[in-house]
């Protein structure tokens, strides 16, 4: 099961960036209470040099 959230009404601030994840604090326009989100880091494929 996949799930998507529309973040267009949020202002996100990165609180902590690690090698495994990034922690964000977000506020929806007009709201005083914060929401928190965790985004998992995606490993970038290594570049191969052919020659």
Per residue in 16-39, pLDDT (tens digit) is 998 899 999 988 888 889 999 899
Residue 33 to residue 25: CA distance in whole angstroms? 10
pLDDT value at position 46? 61
7: left (phi over 0), alpha (psi -120 to 50) or beta: alpha
pLDDT value at position 7? 72
Cβ neighbours of 12 (radius 10 Å): 14
Answer yes or no: pTM beyond 0.85.
no
On the question of pLDDT at 1 being above 90, the answer is no
Which of 44, 2, 5 shows the shortest CA–CA distance to 36? 5
The two three-digit tokens of residue 40, written as one number: 């998992």
With residues binned 3-state (H G I as helix, E B as strand, rest as coil), the percentages for the chain, rounded to 5, are 0, 45, 55
């Amino acid at each position: 099961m996949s799930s998507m959230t529309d973040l267009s009404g949020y202002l996100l601030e990165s609180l902590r960036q690690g090698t495994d994840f990034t922690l964000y604090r977000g506020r929806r326009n007009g709201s005083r209470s914060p929401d928190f989100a965790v985004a998992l880091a995606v490993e970038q494929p290594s570049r191969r040099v052919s020659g």
